[in-house]
Each structure stands twice: as C-alpha cells, then as structure tokens.
Amino acid sequence: QNQNQNPRKLETSPCFLFTVNSVAKMDFQVVILAGGFSSTLFPLVSKEVPKALLPVANRPVLSYVLDLLESNNLKDLIVVVEGEDAALKVGGWISSACVDRLHVEVAAVAENVGTAGALRAIAHHLTAKDILIVSGDIVSDIPPGAVAATHRRHDAAVTAMLCAQPVSGPSESGGSGGKDKTKKPACEDIIGLDSWKQFLLYIAKGTEIKKDTRVKKSILCAAGKMELRSDLVDSHIYAFKRSVLQKVLDQKPAFRSLKQDVLPYLVRTQLRSDVFSDQSNVEENGNGNGKNNMQNNEVVLSQILSNASSPSFHQVYESGLDSRKTHKCCVYIADESKYFVRLNSIQAFMDVNRDVIGDANHLSGYSFSAHHNIVHPSAELGSKTTVGPHCMLGEGSQVGDKCSVKRSVIGRHCRIGSNVKIVNSVVMDHATIGDGCSIQGSVICSNAQLQERVTLRDCQVEAGYIVCVGGEHKGETFARK
C-alpha cells in the first residue's frame, strides 16, 4: 500500500513492500516520545490528563500513534513519558486499551529533560540496530514503516520524515476553523535537499532565522545543488542508527532536543563524521567476527536498493580524501495527500478534532452515519435537536430540546440542556452545559460545568471548572489558579 510515497519512483516496489512488512524482523525498535504535562496545552492538560491522553474524537491522541504503528506491523514499542505521574496514567490507559495487541513498555523519565534527554535516559533499553522515534502527539496516516525502509535502503545515520506544511493540507478545506490559519507563521522549517530529494543537507528552524539563511559552501560544493524548501516541515518521525544516536548522546551531553540539536548536528557533520569513526570496533566487540562481513554486505545491499548507478556524493566525497568518513542523512517526503498534524497547541487540538471527524475521518476508526456524523446509540437527543454533519456524540450523553450541534465533538456522558448551540467546539466527557448556552470555537474539558445562558467564543474551560450564569466571554481561559 505504501509504494506511492516513495520519493524516487524509480525504486522497485517489491523490495520496498518487503521492507515495510518486515520492519519488525529487520531489527527496528520503536520509541514513542509521549511527553508529559505540556504547558503549552494548558488548560486542556491537567493532572488527570497528560498530553498523550488528550481526546481526539473521544480517543486519546496516543491511540492514533499506536494504531498507525500497528498498521505498519510495528508492535514492539517503548513509550517514554515525562514524569512519574503522567507515566502512571499513560501506562494505565495502555494496559487497559491495547495490551492484547501490542507489546508496549512504558518508561518514565524526569520532566524537562528534552527529547534527547529522554532517549539518553532509556539508552540501555535500546538494543536494535536501528531506532525509530515517533512523537506521541501525531495524528497522521503517513506510514512510519516507509521511513524505516528508506533509512535501511540508504544505510543512513538518520532519516527524517518530512511532510507538506499543513496549511495547504486537507485541514484547510474545513473552512470554519481556517481564520487563524490564514496568518500562518511563515516557513516553520527550512530544509535543504539534494537534487534527488533523498538526502538532507541543511535544516534550520524558520523562526530562529531572523534575517539570512546561511548555507555552508562546503556541502554545496560536495552536493552541487541544494533545494531549499520552506514548504516542508519536519514531522518528528525519525529513524536513527542506534550506534550513531548513542554516540551523539554520549559525546554531546548538552544536547537536549532531537530536532534542534541532534538532527542539525548530524546534518552539519555529514561530510566529516565522527560518529562512525570506531563504529566497526563496537560492532565487532558486540557480535564477533562475522559482523564485519555482514556490514560489507549491507553496504552493497544498500547500494543495490538505492538503485545507485552512480555513487552518492557522500561516496564521491569520501573517495576524494584519505581518512574521511561520511554519514548519510536521508529524508522521506510524505505524499501531499497524506494527513499530518502534531497536537502541540490549542489551535492544533481544535483542528485535529475537527479534521478527524471531518475531512480526515478515515483516521478516526469509526464508521460514520449517512449524515456524516457519529451519534452513539446510547446518546439521547431531545426534540427538535439537530446534530449536523462532522459531529460526534459520545456514549450516554444527553442533549436537551431545540439544540443545535455543528462540527463539534461531544464526549461521553455529557449533559447538555435545552436551547444550546455548540459550533466548532470540543466538549469532553462528563461536562455539563446549562440551558441556553452558546459555545463557539471553544474547548470544555471533562467535568466542567457551564451554568445557564453562558456564551463562550474561542474560550478554554479547565477540567472541573464552573462557569457562572449568563456570562458572555470571548477568547478567555477559565482555570483555577
């Protein structure tokens, strides 16, 4: 199913399919970085609900990642959570939800260690040849197996998944939520690719670059051409060679973030690699003499797989110098039709919820009614109440008379009074909404209560918070201090 995403259409698909289906066999370990209690998502995230368990169409966001990995036959997973409390919550959910299908370990690391720090903390668990690292807040249908395959094909040190900037993605056609998106921050990532779009030559965060983009001449000289793209974003799915990753983490104790430190470092040093210098020794010690031979075979194999009639510029460069080592930084560019959003802001949370029951509904895993909505059979609707398309009404929720629900997600066991209007909003489980409320573009967290005739527009209400009678609010955040 995945051969379409292959950046070079020249590749032979049989090999490719083979690799996708047997990623697990090919000695890959998957690490999911599920974060902790993210502060950017306040007040949606609370002590009860860590980031990984935020509901997207009434399912924790982490479940989307797990489903995605499962569909790619990646079933051996390590979920890394920041903070013991969060780890307990996440672990509890995982054991209840998918213990039968997947083999998942949950590891807790200290808070605020960053992504690189988290990996450093669990380094002793990593044993496979290559590591696939997936951010836990992804809602997407891009196959991570394809990243793994690309990685293996090039025998790369690191492979990053890139996808089109979501501004032009399917989410835009949702229309209603688009008002904030028109003012998208220009170029999130600046990414330099070689002319075959196989190798990553340059990466910088667009927001960090104030005036000029500086591209090193040496890499330009070696590669000849570089295409600088500002319409791609790094999707936080990486495949690393384990030895390389561990070496970088060891050598650079100050590195905190994979995206901002480790990846740029590897990209920058790809023409004079330190990470490979004594790799063969390590391998030999670990696996005896046969391994060396294996490695040579793998190099040959990777050349065959990458269809390399002419050697890559890395090899050319390497051959020009005597004791020079290079490593490859590869990319996998997802097809533009694929859906990809990271749940890393409140806006993104709204978008994801809207999209998953709207345009990207194949991700939700639910079957939609003829009205393009999902109303749980146990939900009760009052008379003259309408639930429009692209809506979701959870189990056991009650909606009073003359209500109107449009493009919104309503969780389980919510109580909604009469004459309530809910548009473009997310109402989480066990929320109570009084008569005559009007809610637009807002998030009502679980157990929150809106008393009668409250009007909310672009507001967030923290879990368990009570909004008093008859207020009219716009763009506010309701939370206990």
Partner 1 sequence: LQFILELRVLDSLVKSNLISEGGGGGMGAQKKGGGAKVSEDAEEQSRQRLQAILLADSFATKFRPVTLERPKVLLPIVNVPMIDYTLAWLEYAGIEEVFVFCCAHSVQVIEYLEKSEWYSHPNLVVRTIESHKSISAGDALRYMYEQQTETSQIQGDFVLVSGDTVSNMPLADLIQEHRERKKKDEKAIMTMVIKQSKSSSLTHQSRLGTDQLFIAVDPLTKQLLHYEEDKIDHPRGSICLDKSLLDSNPSVLVCNDMQDCYIDICSPEVLSLFEDNFDYQHLRRHFVKGVLVDDIMGYKIFTHEIHSSYAASIDNFRSYDTVSKDIIQRWTYPYVPDINFSGNRPLKLGRQGIYRASDAVQSRSADVGASTVIGYGTKIGDGDKILNSVIGNGCSIGSNVVIEGSYIWNNVTIEDGCEIRNAIVCDGVKIRAGAVLHPGVVLSFNVVVGRDFVVPAYSKVSLLQQPTTEDSDEELEYADSSSGTADHMSGLNLQMEPKASELGPDGAGYIWEVCEGAHDEEWKHSVAPIPKDKLSEFTQAIDDDDTDDESVIPASGELKSDADSINTDMNDPNDDYYYFEKEVEGTVLRAVEENIKVDLVTLEINGLRLSYNMESADCAGATFYSMMKLAVDTPHSSASELYKTATSIISKWKELLGFYVKKIDEQIEVIMKFEEMCQDSPKELGPLFTQILHLLYDKDVLQEDAILRWAEEKAGADEVDKVYLKQCETFIQWLKEASEEEDEDDEDEEEDD
In terms of CB distance, is 25 or 214 closer to partner 1? 214
C-alpha closest to that of 236 among 312, 301, 142? 142
Looking at residue 174, the DSSP 8-state letter turns out to be: G
Got the DSSP string for 246-270? HHHHHH-TT---IIIIIHHHHHHTT
Q: Per-residue x/- mask for partner 1, residues 269 to 298, rule CB under 8 A? A: x-xx--------------------------
Applying CB under 8 A, the span of 122-130, 226-234, 329-337, 448-456 interacting with partner 1 comes to: 226-234
- Closest approach of Cβ 247 to partner 1, in Å? 16
Got the DSSP string for 351-397? HHHHHHTTTTGGGT-PPP-TTS-EE-TT-EE-TT-EE-SS-EE-TT-
What gap in Å lies between CA 142 and CA 170, rounded to an integer? 14
In terms of CB distance, is 290 or 320 closer to partner 1? 320
C-alpha closest to that of 76 among 24, 35, 128, 152? 24
In terms of CB distance, is 205 or 402 closer to partner 1? 205
- Closest approach of Cβ 399 to partner 1, in Å? 44
- Closest approach of Cβ 270 to partner 1, in Å? 10
Q: Which residue in 45, 86, 109, 222 binds partner 1 (CB under 8 A)?
A: 222
137 close to 115: Cβ distance less than 8 angstroms: no
Q: In angstroms, what CA-CA distances link 393 with 166, 295, 388, 405? A: 27, 55, 11, 9
Q: Per-residue x/- mask for partner 1, residues 296 to 335, rule CB under 8 A? A: -----------------x--xx--xx--x-----------
238 close to 258: Cβ distance less than 8 angstroms: yes
- Which letter, b or e, does each residue of 189-219 get, where b requires 16 or more Cβ atoms within 10 Å of its Cβ? bbbbbbeebbbbbbbbeeeeeeeeeeeeeeb
Q: Which residue in 113, 122, 228, 479 binds partner 1 (CB under 8 A)?
A: 228
In terms of CB distance, is 137 or 194 closer to partner 1? 194
- Closest approach of Cβ 71 to partner 1, in Å? 31
- Closest approach of Cβ 186 to partner 1, in Å? 5
Q: How many CB atoms lie within 10 A of CB 474?
A: 12
Q: How many residues bind partner 1 (CB under 8 A)?
A: 49
In terms of CB distance, is 273 or 353 closer to partner 1? 273
What gap in Å lies between CA 410 and CA 47, rounded to an integer? 21
Q: Following CA atoms 318, 322, 325, 329 in sequence, which dihedral angle do they give, to the nearest 10 degrees?
A: -20
Q: Which of residues 337-396 bind partner 1 (CB under 8 A)?
A: none
Q: Which residue in 225, 362, 372, 474 binds partner 1 (CB under 8 A)?
A: 225
In terms of CB distance, is 33 or 222 closer to partner 1? 222
Q: Per-residue x/- mask for partner 1, residues 199 to 218, rule CB under 8 A? A: -----xxx-xxxxxxxxxxx
Q: In angstroms, what CA-CA distances link 60 with 25, 52, 237, 352, 477? A: 28, 7, 19, 12, 22
Burial class (CB in 10 A: 0-12, 13-18, 19+), 103: exposed
How do 398-399 and 380-381 pair as beta strands?
Answer: parallel
In terms of CB distance, is 53 or 275 closer to partner 1? 275
In terms of CB distance, is 272 or 473 closer to partner 1? 272
Q: Which of residues 165-194 bind partner 1 (CB under 8 A)?
A: 186-187, 190, 192
Looking at residue 176, the DSSP 8-state letter turns out to be: G
The answer to whether 8 contacts partner 1 (rule: CB under 8 A) is no
Q: Which amino acid is at 146?
A: A
What is the gyration radius of the CA atoms in the chain, in angstroms?
24
In terms of CB distance, is 228 or 301 closer to partner 1? 228
In terms of CB distance, is 219 or 416 closer to partner 1? 219
Residues that bind partner 1 (CB under 8 A): 186-187, 190, 192, 204-206, 208-218, 220-231, 252-256, 260-261, 264-265, 268-269, 271-272, 313, 316-317, 320-321, 324
